Amino acid sequence: MATVKTEHPHIVRTEGVCAGDPIIKGTRIPVWAIAGWLKQGYSLQSIGEEIYPRLSLAELHDAVSYYYDHQDDIEAQLKANSPGEEEEEELEERRKQWAKLTQKDAGPSSSS
């Protein structure tokens, strides 16, 4: 697998990893994923603390910088990797089913 450096020190492209999309060096975390979390309202600090705790703020900032330098490409990757409306509805239905199942399991236990 050939790894290609980019003009951003923490961002590379590796053939066969994440479809060759730009990723954070040493991970399989694509830049589009970081951009997606940002677009959902997460701060870089919360992304680093809650979602990708092994990433440094420098790596996250570099991913955002790469996103802004290549915004059209990253937006296309984000769209290609995001669920469509039909998939969103299916996911919501699965969430509801899961909630019902876990609610049943959390019910009062009977003692014998």
Say if residue 64's pLDDT is above 60. yes
pLDDT band at 37 (very low <50, low <70, confident <90, very high): very high
Q: Looking at residue 83, what is its pLDDT?
A: 72
pLDDT digit string (tens) for 41-56? Answer: 999 999 999 999 999 9
Which residue ranges make up each domain of the chain? Answer: 3-105
Q: Looking at residue 46, what is its pLDDT?
A: 95
Say if residue 106's pLDDT is above 90. no
> What's the chain's average pLDDT?
89
Residues 99, 80: Cα–Cα separation, whole Å: 28
Residue predicted with more confidence, 21 or 89: 21
> What's this model's pTM, rounded to 2 decimal places?
0.74
> What would you report as the CA-atom Rg of the chain, rounded to the nearest whole angstrom?
19
- The fold of the 3-105 domain, in CATH, is Arc Repressor Mutant, subunit A (1.10.10)
Say if residue 80's pLDDT is above 80. yes
